[in-house]
């Protein structure tokens, strides 16, 4: 039997959060953490968490499993269980709405700040804006971000200043548009990132890289932004 300890908090009924232990028979199978939650949800329908695609694409079920952020649907028990115990908490640093569901408003506010869309005011060509293979290759490792918030909520700089530091996810997306040959607002984008918080609160501890379920490297993207700022400002 596997002991699963889950963070529970219902603001309408509980004075404060608490950890609730469940015993789960996984029959020795190395199932995903989400499978365990689904099984528990049948036993206790009051357990609340987000989920959707159950295959690591939608980014809904980001949570903290035995101390490490990740997607429950693609994290096998063999990676998350320690001493026959699985501890599940909501992603840290953002307000909890209920149980494992967090309020991601601050996360999305930072995403909105970086203008996550193409800016190009030149007349649109007849068919499409073309890129060379090399130009397109620069977007690899950037466009794959699914905004699950595992990285930003693993970042202490984001915990302390979620209203000022854009966070690894937002900065990865910022570089995705800075690196895009079709975008013409590079200088305007860079001008908004020069303050002491937006980019420069990153101290390069690489928690984001360690937890990204898509294997992306926000720290490297932040380094590229810094280099672009240096090129522009010196």
Partner 1 sequence: MVTSITSLGRSGLSDWLLQRVSACIMTLYVLFIVGYLMLNPGLQFADWQALHGSLPMRMFSLMTVLSLAAHSWIGMWCVFTDYVTVRLIGPKATAVRIFFQLMMIAVTLLYTIWAIDILWGI
> Which residues are near partner 1 by CB under 8 A?
156-157, 160-161, 163-164, 193-201, 226, 229-230, 233
Closer residue to partner 1 in complex, CB, 14/195:
195
Closest to 146 measured CA to CA, from 91, 71, 209:
71
Other CB atoms within a 10 A radius of the CB of residue 105 amount to: 11
Which CB sits closer to partner 1, 18 or 197? 197
| 44 or 195: CB nearest partner 1 | 195
CA distance 212 to 172: 12
How far apart are CB 39 and partner 1 at their closest, in Å?
A: 37
Beta bridge partners of 6: 20, 88
Minimum distance of partner 1 from residue 231's CB (angstroms): 11
Distance CA 41, CA 4 (A): 13
As a whole number of angstroms, the distance between CA 40 and CA 25 comes to: 11
Nearer to partner 1, 108 or 200 (CB): 200
Which is nearer to partner 1, 97 or 229 (by Cβ)? Answer: 229
Q: How far is the CB of 163 from partner 1 (least distance, A)?
A: 8
Tokens 């810094």 identify what position?
Answer: 226
* Strand 85-89 versus strand 101-102 pairing type: unpaired
Q: How far is the CB of 198 from partner 1 (least distance, A)?
A: 7
């Amino acid at each position: 039997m596997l002991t699963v300890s889950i963070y529970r908090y219902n603001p309408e009924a509980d004075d404060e959060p608490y950890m609730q232990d469940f015993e789960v028979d996984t029959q020795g199978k190395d199932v995903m953490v989400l499978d365990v939650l689904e099984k528990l949800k049948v036993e206790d329908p009051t357990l609340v968490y987000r989920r959707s695609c159950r295959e690591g694409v939608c980014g809904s079920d980001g949570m903290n499993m035995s101390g490490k952020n990740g997607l429950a649907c693609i994290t096998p028990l063999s990676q998350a269980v320690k001493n026959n115990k699985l501890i599940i908490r909501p992603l840290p640093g953002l307000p909890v709405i209920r149980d494992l569901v967090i309020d991601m408003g601050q996360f999305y506010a930072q995403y909105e700040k970086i203008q996550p869309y193409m800016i190009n005011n030149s007349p649109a060509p007849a068919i499409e804006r073309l890129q060379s293979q090399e130009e397109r290759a620069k977007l690899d490792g950037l466009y794959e971000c699914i905004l699950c918030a595992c990285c930003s909520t693993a970042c202490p700089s984001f915990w302390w200043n979620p209203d000022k530091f854009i966070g690894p996810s937002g900065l990865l997306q910022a570089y995705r548009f800075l690196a895009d040959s079709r975008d013409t607002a590079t200088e305007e984008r860079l001008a908004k990132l020069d303050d002491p918080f937006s980019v420069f609160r990153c101290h390069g501890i690489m928690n984001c890289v360690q937890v990204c379920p898509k294997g992306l490297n926000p720290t490297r993207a932040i380094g590229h932004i810094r280099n672009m700022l240096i090129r522009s400002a010196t």
